[in-house]
A and B are shown apart, each in its own frame.
Chain A
Amino acid sequence: MKHTLSILLQNESGALLRVAGLFAARHVNIDALTVAVTHDPGVSQLTLVLHGDAGVLEQILRQLRKLVDVLDASSLSLVGSGERSRLVATSA
């Protein structure tokens, strides 16, 4: 199943590598990844798509939350439909 993650990351040297490296080390493929700096230049927003069952999603989120640079990591779900649809963070 496809999951979309939202990750807030401190802009430290090597921080993106540590996130990408975590997925590689845990054998979880990243299907899509965008990175953009937020209004705070010290913080980046990552949006990341992966495939996996609920166990894979839960484990990767918990492992992400152990990375020192990670401010927040959550799974997004599409709520609503059509023009009114939006992505919201879920508690997984």
Chain B
Amino acid sequence: MTLSQATAAVTAAPPVLHPCAGQSMTGAEIVVQVLADEGCRVLFGYSGGAILPVYDAVFRYNERHRTADGREPMPLIVPANEQGAGFMAAGHARATGDVGVAVVTSGPGATNLVTPIRDAMADSIPLVAICGQVPTALLGSDAFQEAPVAGIMGACAKHVFLVTEPTQLEATLRSAFEIARSGRPGPVVVDIPKNVQNAGLVFDGACRLPLPGYRARLRAIEQAHLDDAACNELLRALAQARRPLIYAGGGVIAAGAAAALATFVDTFGVPVTTTLMGLGGFDTTHPLALHLLGMHGTAHANYAVEDCDFLLALGARFDDRVAGVPAQFAPRARFIAQIDIDPAEIGKVKRVDWHHAGPLAPALERLVAHGRARGLRPQLAPWHAHIAALKRRHALDWDRASAAIQPQAVIEAINRITRGEAIISTGVGQHQMWAAQYFDFRRPRHWLTSGSMGTMGFGLPAAIGAQLARPDALVIDIDGDGSIRMNLGELETVTTYDLPIKIVVLNNRGDGMVRQWQRLFFAGRFAATDKNLHRKDFVRAAQADGFEWARRLEDKAALDATIEAFLAHPGPAFLEVMIDPEAGVYPMVGPGANYAQMVTGPFIAARSATPVSEAEVPATAMF
């Protein structure tokens, strides 16, 4: 049998026959049935001509399967713009670990989804995006609302399918979910021409594409287990280390390995610093937690990286926001080890002395069992004392005496009430970094942020997706005035669906992070980032979109009481806080600088900083 024949129908013998197997269905009905089978409980999307058959099938499915209390089993949440739908699906996926689903029409519907798809790819978030497409007979004819989605999305997504053969639709869609959630997760786009949605088909209930190359490699990775020799080598290096450190990334969360990491730390006493994507992968209130590292990491985390003699990277990829100068990252580490599900990340940026490409949780459990069996208990009291002293001496701090409201005070006030239990989403910029620095993160999937792509406008739609996934959770969008503008239309989506989301806009009248760079590297020329002339009244905008609780906070003395009232409001609430426009994000490891050259700012104690040497690349050229 050739591969192409195999592609036609590979039916793994199902343990139980699907109740709908053998039924006649349209392509659109098959789409909805597969979504239901894959556990999809909510869809996000905007209608249009080329996706109408699927939308109609969703409508009919929801009518037929209403729950006992009259709810729809698969509600379709309609955003203001398809970009919102993509970020809602991503917020849903980030808050649960399940595959988020967006369903949009052809042409502009699909192209509006490009940014969230790339964002999900860059942060390894599992999504399935279903795009309507013009009928196959019109493909390539410059038809109305036609866009070359396979080409556009192929450059952004983990994979893209264009379904031209109706009999392949069911297997393709089921395989799309498998690809999205397996290995290193990511977004998969399924482009479905309208005639395929309307085709008369017979439902199988179990068929999948063979995907021989992908499946073979996935199996090899998933079955990669640490053998005794590999455990011995790593644990021998750990036993010899005096100052070991774990550098934990988003992979800890994606792999569901937070519990295994906590056990590893309890067993061997190795302190942990987390990346922006890894926040929540290790309880930041733990005595051995150093919180965030990197460009805007805590001073104590970055100094610990400078001081460590052994570094274990877990689901982290030494990206430029952490290792701006890879050769000078962790300069005293005599042994660097890396565990990642993606073999392409091993040694991509920084050479490592030991690595394992495979699932993280079993690897950590194996190392714990191996170490315990051999009585490994590193004696790290001096290092722990050093870590405690770093945390004491170089704690985060800000201008507490200022008459202006400082953004850090707002985050701290919210954190005092929520105690690391709220789900926090953010836009991108200074407010994102303050939120990352000043919130406690007790557990995974409470921190939703656009890490790698850094997409402004992410926070509000992501909060909507998270609130729909976790109806009982307190979901707070910490946003900036620049970021929230990007998807401000979604304010109305919050009230349309009566979601009790709390939205905080830290308004510094401009693009604060870019201004910070312009202040430092462009002699204070604030090209296009000063918004003092903007006339927007955010509170009235929120009221116009139906927010009954919408206030502006300008008086520092009213901060605690206002935030308490804001968080206590049972429904949607909007709080604009006029913050000090001069507030900066510190510490900062400048572009092209190493951690020893970190600038801690006026309120955080620094160790004697190594002056930044004449850089080969000027700071104005860095990003």
Contacts and interface: CB of A to CB of B under 8 A. Distances in A.
Contacts of B342: 66
A11 B159 contact: no
Contacts of A72: 213
Contacts of A48: none
Given A13-B162, A68-B179, A70-B213, A18 B2 contact: no
Contacts of B343: 62, 65
Interface in B124-163: 150-151, 154-155, 158-162
B351 to A, nearest CB: 10
Contacts of A62: 343-344
Contacts, number: 61
Contacts of B162: 13-14
A21 B161 CA distance: 16
B537 to A, nearest CB: 42
B3 A10 contact: yes
A68 B214 contact: yes
B154 A71 contact: no
B21 interface: no
B128 to A, nearest CB: 14
Given A62-B344, A68-B179, A68-B211, A14 B2 contact: no
Contacts of B2: 40-43
A69 B213 contact: yes
Nearest to A58: B347
Contact of B150 (A8, A14, A40): A14
Interface residues of B, number: 27
B213 A25 contact: no
A63 interface: yes
Contact of A17 (B151, B212, B217, B344): B151
Contacts of A14: 150-151, 154, 160, 162
Contacts of B164: 13
A8 B344 CA distance: 19
A59 interface: yes
Contacts of A21: 151, 154-155
B7 interface: yes
B4 interface: yes
Interface in A10-48: 10-14, 17-18, 21, 25, 40-43
A22 B217 CA distance: 19
B4 A41 contact: yes
Interface of B: 2-7, 150-151, 154-155, 158-162, 164, 179, 184, 211-214, 217, 342-344, 348
Closest 4 CB pairs of A and B: A42-B4, A62-B344, A42-B3, A71-B213
Given A43-B3, A68-B214, 13 more contacts: A10-B213, A11-B4, A14-B150, A14-B162, A17-B151, A41-B2, A41-B4, A42-B2, A42-B6, A43-B2, A59-B344, A65-B343, A69-B213
